[in-house]
């Protein structure tokens, strides 16, 4: 999982919105965008729980 952010210096609101849309389009075309809300904390805790369960059962 990765979280991407961007900052554009000296951009108007319209320019920033355009760049944001380009960014989203790039990730969609590369099939790297999960288009749903999710909790990163919950995801991480579930992964840790799975790893712990795997270690204790082997």
Q: What is the pTM of this model?
A: 0.56
Q: Is residue 2 part of a domain?
A: no
Q: Go through 34-46 and write b for each residue having 16 or more CB atoms within 10 A of its CB, e for each that does not.
A: eeeeeeeeeeeee
Q: Residue 22: which domain range?
A: 13-57
Q: CB of 46 within 8 A of CB of 35?
A: no
Q: Is residue 34 part of a domain?
A: yes
Q: CB of 19 within 8 A of CB of 8?
A: yes
pLDDT digit string, tens, across residues 5-54: 888 889 999 999 999 999 999 999 999 887 778 888 998 999 999 988 87
What is the count of structural domains for the chain? Answer: 1
């Amino acid at each position: 999982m990765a979280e991407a952010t961007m900052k554009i210096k000296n951009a108007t609101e319209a320019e920033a919105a355009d760049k944001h849309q380009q960014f989203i389009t790039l990730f969609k075309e590369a099939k790297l965008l999960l288009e749903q809300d999710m909790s990163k904390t919950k995801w991480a805790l579930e992964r840790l729980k799975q790893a712990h369960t795997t270690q204790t059962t082997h």
